[in-house]
A and B are shown apart, each in its own frame.
Chain A
Amino acid sequence: MLVGKGSLTFRQYELSGKRKRFEPDYLCERLSTFAFAGLASGEEGVAQGWVAPGHLFDGDFDPHRLFHGPYVTFALRIDTRKVPASLINAHAALEIQAALDAEGLERLSNRRKREIKEEIRLRLSEETPPVQKAFGVFWNLKKGKVYLQNTSKTVNEAFRALFERSFETEIKPQIPGLQAAGYARGAGLLENLREARPLELRAAPQGSSSPSEMVQA
């Protein structure tokens, strides 16, 4: 199960686009449209898309499986295939030496070296499985809050871009500065927020009395 398993780590987003209602049929159709399709055999790079919440290969976007109470659940799958440069260089060193020995040469042309490296890269790409990861998503449709079970910058950027494209809306991450700005705007304290500077906290001087008689803020 990709959503809600074990202890939860997640980042909160708030829906901020014009669209407010998301019907189950629409959600399932859009999840299928932007479902994970994978990298081609031997293709290097990154592929991302949605999977259903059961497991990495779960492509069954049946509403009965996705909806739990007020939440729709699914997952972002990201596959990455990259042949390490050090591995290519090591193979290339061996094959270049073998070519030099076989042909009795002292050096190969740069073009020939590039061709050898490219052949090695393509061969190793075919042999290298992609790194496959999935990150749970749960979306409270009533409250307009979306939660991604990952907090890394790259995954969150990929998630936000795909989510906004998939569901034709916008989402804003709830980060402290933006939350403070939103609160301050509503409370008429934006100027106080603009003027706020980091607290320089030091121990009160020795002998200072307790401020307990002061009114608690």
Chain B
Amino acid sequence: MAATDVAFAVERSFLAQEFLTWLWFRSEVEGGEFDLDDRHVAVVIEDSLSLCGWDDEGPRTSLRGGNPTLRPEAAGALASGLMLNKARLIVAEGNREWQFSLDTESLDLLSVKVPALDEDDEVEDPLAEKLGAGERLRETIDLLFEHFLTVRLGGDWQKIEVPRLEHWVRVKVERAHADADKQPN
């Protein structure tokens, strides 16, 4: 790889954080269902959220357990400009489900639990089946990233998608305040 290619790639690495945050938005607002090339998938941001800004030295927030995507701290982090940089996700395709963590620094797949085989499945090579399932998830994430890029690099990003994202953050913040007001003193 040419040094210029690497430098260009590193400078565009913020797109991965935007991608994960956008997946979160789409899963909460529109149910997280996507029609990709040859598959229909559903995505859920499940747990272990890590949010940070573009500055390496800046504030960070980590949330685990108890529906972290709905917690007021998550709303506050988004409202202060932090983006999701790591999370535990579920991707479902038909009756198959993968659980995994995604790290936006590299879009590597971490701790992937592939769909369990049914007892009735006659599998010639269980290892090939498992590796194939891992690879299928990798392809799905790549297709989702391309889908995001279609939106991100298209003309409607600033006019349509960014206002929708901002409205989503506003609603989360308002909900967080409303829930806090309901708490007994």
A interface residues, Cβ below 8 angstroms from B: 1, 3-4, 7-12, 68-71, 73, 138, 140, 143, 145, 147, 151, 172-181, 183-184, 187, 189, 192-193, 196, 198-206, 208, 210-211, 214-217
Q: Which residue of the partner chain, among B104, B145, B165, contacts A179 with CB atoms under 8 Å?
A: B145
Q: How many residues of B contact A (CB 8 A)?
A: 64
Task: State which of B11-19, B32-40, B62-70 sits at the interface with chain A.
Answer: B11-19
Given the known A-B contacts A174-B142, A217-B151, are A204 and B170 also in contact in the complex, defined by CB atoms under 8 Å?
Answer: yes
User: A172-B1, A201-B81 are known contacts. Are A217 and B135 too (CB-CB below 8 A)?
Assistant: no
Contact with A along B100-119 (1 / 0, CB 8 A): 00011011111111100000
Q: Give the residues in chain A near B44, CB-CB below 8 Å.
A: none
Q: Which residues of A have CB within 8 Å of B11?
A: 177
**Which of B112, B138, B154, B169 sits near A217, CB closer than 8 Å?**
B154
CA distance A89 to B131 in the complex (A): 47
B60 within 8 A of A: no
**Does B160 have its Cβ within 8 Å of any Cβ on chain A?**
yes
CB atoms of A69 and B109 under 8 A apart = no
Task: Find B111's partner among A1, A7, A71, A210 (CB 8 Å cutoff).
Answer: A7
* B43 on the A face (CB < 8 A): no
| Contact indicator A177/B9 (Cβ below 8 Å) | yes
CB contacts (< 8 Å) of A199 on chain B: these are: 14, 18, 21, 83, 162, 165
24 contacts between A and B (CB under 8 A): A9-B110, A10-B138, A71-B131, A140-B135, A151-B108, A176-B9, A176-B106, A178-B1, A178-B9, A179-B142, A179-B146, A183-B145, A187-B153, A193-B153, A196-B15, A199-B18, A201-B78, A201-B162, A203-B79, A204-B163, A204-B169, A204-B170, A208-B170, A215-B160
Which chain A positions have C-beta within 8 A of B179?
A: none
A3 to B126, CA, bound (A): 12
A7 partner, pick from B83, B112, B150, B172, beta carbons under 8 A: B112
